[in-house]
Chain A
């Protein structure tokens, strides 16, 4: 067994190495953009040095072209990896596992299905395996110092033109899926200004990221990329604070593996309290300013 782990940028190196360690096989890393020194246990770091991530049709061909000789090709679960990895799987004739959360052996993995209501154990029948991995489900990797590095030229022919790309200003906040603290809000936040002031304010006081329910996103209170849930982002921070969030199955699917969950809601019977370590039945309009006051560094 030998794995090729696809890192879109250097921030994915440590999370991916967690999976490499769990697989228990030697692994190389293909770093698509940026550069880094520490490979977190990688035998070799292949540096593609791309300025931007190419569209999926081209990127899949580029990845497949350097995937010869590897039994496993894996990327951290994200929208960009889910865009490209199924195409890579076809090019390699590899069976594919989406959102792996556990490794039972080199061909057997666990993954959540039906909005996380069920954990499926899946075996891969093909010689090669493609995966996207929920890296937060695995133990942190330790730095191993400078890795062997080699440049690779990825040829990524695409029939797609990217005419614009916008990143919402995250206000210097950490990426949701990698933040140690996430503060999420729902519909009761009323409007975008209130959401930013209370949810954003508490997140800033804790150095955390901002999440939201689908309802908050749909009603324009919170930006799209803040949506946490089955069809949004999957997060598992050290601390998840849900304010004005009722706790639909779809939302819980995106956050119930958080280490410590705090729920603040005026409805003491809301389902969010069933997964919360600490529940506070109080109006978020009084509770959050009070929390900010006490938690501000």
Chain B
């Protein structure tokens, strides 16, 4: 069983990120970069599957500049068996990422592509579903539980109103939600061991073809400052004056 885990290098999700005043880019305030937290959940899940079944093989993949090597090393330290960096300084939008991952999936023939439901930088929530469509594979997004057995995936997934369970034959694409697992802390031996694991670098096999282009970045509109009220009574009269309660 081979599990392919695409990971994205994103700015620390807890950092304060602002638009530059001239609207041309982001001010990340020198924040660190991390593995997209949802991709980290995907990695953790893959590692747990391997712990249950030693024949599971985990390939971590990232598309981007040479700096992505840091995140792939971390993925190896978490337990991926090998890593592939598709090295490119070009801009990749979600459909371009999906197309490159589809080409790689055809080559590696994984039984499962397991990845985050969205990246915390662009919040797009597109790449995995697009990959599944390009491969014409079934998918389960927003997974909160994943079982693999007998060549099938059984996935409990979150919905707008609760939860549902989907069953499908492998290969398929699954995206992770927060409650799937809690990623492990990486201990030092894992970091040392990761240095000797294979990390292959190669150029992309597809050209990014941008279907969307970000032309400007702005600060969100600010809310007019509110005020503190001294009591529940005062709060209720303010809300009545605003007409938001009867």
Contact A114–B121 (Cβ < 8 Å): yes
Give bound CA distance, A291 to B120, whole Å.
Answer: 36
**Minimum CB–CB distance for B39 against chain A, Å:** 13
Is A160 at the interface (CB under 8 A from chain B)? yes
Q: Which residues of chain B (203-238) have a CB below 8 Å from chain A? A: 210-220, 223, 226-229, 231-233, 235-236, 238
Residues of B within 8 A of A119 (CB): 19, 217-220
Residues of B within 8 A of A168 (CB): 161-162
Contacts A79-B159, A166-B164; A97 near B229 (Cβ below 8 A): no
Contact A60–B133 (Cβ < 8 Å): yes
Say whether chain B's binding surface is mostly helix, strand, loop, or mixed.
mixed
**Minimum CB–CB distance for A293 against chain B, Å:** 9
Contact A160–B228 (Cβ < 8 Å): no
Residues of B within 8 A of A259 (CB): 244
Is A112 at the interface (CB under 8 A from chain B)? yes
Question: Which stretch (B55-63, B65-73, B123-131, B193-201) binds chain A?
Answer: B123-131
Contacts A90-B95, A119-B218, A239-B245; A166 near B228 (Cβ below 8 A): no
Contact pattern, B 137-165, Cβ under 8 Å of A = 1, otherwise 0: 11111101000000000100011111111
**Minimum CB–CB distance for A292 against chain B, Å:** 10
Q: Which residues of chain A (38-59) have a CB below 8 Å from chain B? A: 55-57
Name the residue on A nearest B166 (C-beta).
A160
Give bound CA distance, A257 to B39, whole Å.
Answer: 28
Name the residue on A nearest B210 (C-beta).
A125
Contact A96–B229 (Cβ < 8 Å): no
Contact A86–B26 (Cβ < 8 Å): no
Give bound CA distance, A85 to B141, whole Å.
Answer: 12
Give bound CA distance, A96 to B96, whole Å.
Answer: 12
Give bound CA distance, A281 to B138, whole Å.
Answer: 50
B215 partner, pick from A86, A113, A121, A159, beta carbons under 8 A: A121
Contact A120–B214 (Cβ < 8 Å): yes
Contact pattern, A 54-89, Cβ under 8 Å of B = 1, otherwise 0: 011100100000000000000000111011111101
B120 partner, pick from A97, A115, A165, beta carbons under 8 A: A115
Contact B166–A87 (Cβ < 8 Å): no
Question: Which stretch (B1-9, B10-18, B45-53, B79-87) binds chain A?
Answer: B10-18
Is A256 at the interface (CB under 8 A from chain B)? yes
Name the residue on B nearest A248 (C-beta).
B14
**Minimum CB–CB distance for B150 against chain A, Å:** 14
Residues of A within 8 A of B244 (CB): 181, 238-239, 259-260
Say whether chain A's binding surface is mostly helix, strand, loop, or mixed.
mixed
**Minimum CB–CB distance for B116 against chain A, Å:** 10
Is A194 at the interface (CB under 8 A from chain B)? no
Residues of B within 8 A of A83 (CB): 129, 139, 141-142
Between B154, B158, B168, B226, the greatest number of chain A beta carbons within 10 A of the residue's beta carbon is seen for B226
**Minimum CB–CB distance for A134 against chain B, Å:** 12
Name the residue on A nearest B38 (C-beta).
A231
Contact A117–B220 (Cβ < 8 Å): yes
A57 partner, pick from B125, B130, B139, B219, beta carbons under 8 A: B139
Residues of B within 8 A of A120 (CB): 122, 214, 216-217
Contacts A57-B138, A90-B130, A280-B229; A96 near B239 (Cβ below 8 A): no
Contact B121–A82 (Cβ < 8 Å): no
Residues of B within 8 A of A206 (CB): 245
Q: Which residues of chain A (2-16) have a CB below 8 Å from chain B? A: none
Contact pattern, A 257-288, Cβ under 8 Å of B = 1, otherwise 0: 00111100000100001011111111000010
Contact B17–A114 (Cβ < 8 Å): yes
Residues of A within 8 A of B177 (CB): 231
Residues of B within 8 A of A196 (CB): none
Contacts A89-B95, A160-B140; A114 near B120 (Cβ below 8 A): yes
Give bound CA distance, A161 to B172, whole Å.
Answer: 13
Name the residue on B nearest A163 (C-beta).
B165
**Minimum CB–CB distance for A275 against chain B, Å:** 6
Name the residue on A nearest B116 (C-beta).
A231
Is B90 at the interface (CB under 8 A from chain A)? no
Contact pattern, A 146-169, Cβ under 8 Å of B = 1, otherwise 0: 000000000000111111111110
Contact B169–A86 (Cβ < 8 Å): no
CB pairs A–B below 8 angstroms (8 shown): A94-B211, A114-B120, A114-B123, A118-B26, A159-B137, A160-B140, A224-B162, A273-B228
Q: Which 5 A-B pairs have the closest CB atoms?
A: A95-B211, A86-B129, A90-B133, A121-B216, A87-B133
Other than the given A86-B129, A290-B232, 5 more pairs (CB < 8 A) read A86-B133, A114-B11, A177-B160, A225-B160, A225-B161
Interface residues of A (CB under 8 A from B): 55-57, 60, 78-80, 82-87, 89-91, 93-99, 108, 112-126, 158-168, 170, 175, 177, 181, 206, 214, 217-218, 223-225, 230-231, 233, 238-239, 249-250, 256, 259-262, 268, 273, 275-282, 287, 290-291, 294-295, 297
